[in-house]
Amino acid sequence: MYAKKRYSEKATLKKTLAMHSERTNRHKADDQVQDGAVPAYLLDREQTARAKVLSNTIKQKRKEKAGKWEVPLPKVRPIAEDEMFRVLRTGKRKTKQWKRMVTKVTFVGPGFTRKPPKYERFIRPMGLRFTKAHVTHPELKCTFNLDIIGVKKNPNGPMYTSMGVITKGTIIEVNVSELGLVTPAGKVVWGKYAQVTNNPENDGCINGVLLV
């Protein structure tokens, strides 16, 4: 334990020493080019910029229609059904196997009431129900503990979305009223989407990134 500490101290020491010796180091002289700087023979060409902007908005509109959003985690690992559900044996002789228990973290709304236990096919255990998520604002770089309003989309399938299963990559809607965001029109924003960035069943908490 002390060895680790010493190692980390040594590493930081080395870094600071390297930084101090930067003064005497010599670097290649780089001709820095500013962003947007254009070579002399291209100076008169402006129109392409505006065109590019236009085509970008069109592309965005198209994507919106298609329902494709830019999210921090575009691809997630697919989760098989036998990983998601655990088979429960019921009946006098424990031979019936039609019940399933969800092994991942779920969200059920505040007005949720279970179906009669005899007819319940999917069981969402109370221990795995979460109501709050730790959401990070990507620009402000700070994390808030916000209430979950609902599960918008689970990339593994619509069945999971309707069940409220939260896995990595799920889009959830969170209550951002405490952030005090206001629309340009003057209305208070109280719900925003966030994407889950960790495996909640492994960490015991839901961490996400706000989609601004």
Partner 1 sequence: MVLYNFKRITVVPSGKEFVDIILSRTQRQTPTVVHKGYAINRIRQFYMRKVKYTQTNFHEKISTILEDFPRLDDIHPFYGELLNHLYDKDHYKLALGQLNTARNLIEKISKDYVRLLKYGDSLYRCKNLKKAALGRMCTVMKRVSPSLAYLEQVRQHMSRLPSIDPNTRTILICGYPNVGKSSFINKITRADVDVQPYAFTTKSLFVGHTDYKYMRWQVIDTPGILDHPLEECNTIEMLSITALAYLRAAVLFVVDLSGNCGYTIAQQSALFHSIRALFANKPVIIACNKTDLQPFETLPESDKKLIEEMRKEAARAGAGLIDGPPPDEENCMLPMSTMTEEGIIAVKNAACEKLLQMRVEMKMKSKKINDCLNRIHVAVPKVRDHKERPPVIPQGVLEARAAENKAAENKRKLEKDLENENGGAGVYSANMHKHYLLLDPDWKDDIVPEIMDGHNIADFVDADILQRLDELEREEDERAAAAEGMDEDEDMSDQDLTPEEAEALAAIRRKKKLMLAEHRAKKKTADNKPVVPRRHDIERQFNTSRMGRHLSNLGLDPTAAVNRARSRSAAGTRSRKRDRSEGTGGDGMEVDEQANKRMRSRTRSLSRPHKEALPGEGFKDSAQKVKAMQIGKNAVKERNKDARKGEADRVHYNKKPKHLFSGKRGTGKTDRR
Residues that bind partner 1 (CB under 8 A): 1, 86, 103, 125, 127-128, 199, 201-205
Nearer to partner 1, 125 or 138 (CB): 125
Indicate the helix (H) or strand (E) that contains 25: none
Question: d(Cα 155, Cα 79) in Å, to the nearest integer?
Answer: 9
Three-state secondary-structure class, residue 23: helix
Nearest C-alpha neighbor of 166 from the set 155, 177, 175: 155
Smallest distance from the beta carbon of 44 to partner 1, in angstroms? Answer: 59
The DSSP string of 115-129 is PPTTT--EE--GGGB
Nearer to partner 1, 85 or 160 (CB): 85
Smallest distance from the beta carbon of 94 to partner 1, in angstroms? Answer: 15
Nearer to partner 1, 15 or 86 (CB): 86
Q: Are 197 and 72 in contact (CB under 8 A)?
A: yes
Smallest distance from the beta carbon of 136 to partner 1, in angstroms? Answer: 16
Nearer to partner 1, 178 or 203 (CB): 203
Taking 3-state DSSP, the helix, strand and coil percentages for the chain, each rounded to the nearest 5, stand at 30, 25, 45
Smallest distance from the beta carbon of 202 to partner 1, in angstroms? Answer: 4
Question: d(Cα 173, Cα 190) in Å, to the nearest integer?
Answer: 10
Smallest distance from the beta carbon of 78 to partner 1, in angstroms? Answer: 18
Question: d(Cα 16, Cα 47) in Å, to the nearest integer?
Answer: 49
Nearer to partner 1, 103 or 161 (CB): 103
Smallest distance from the beta carbon of 91 to partner 1, in angstroms? Answer: 18
Work out the end-to-end distance of the chain between its first and last CA atoms, rounded to an integer number of angstroms. 42
Nearer to partner 1, 128 or 151 (CB): 128
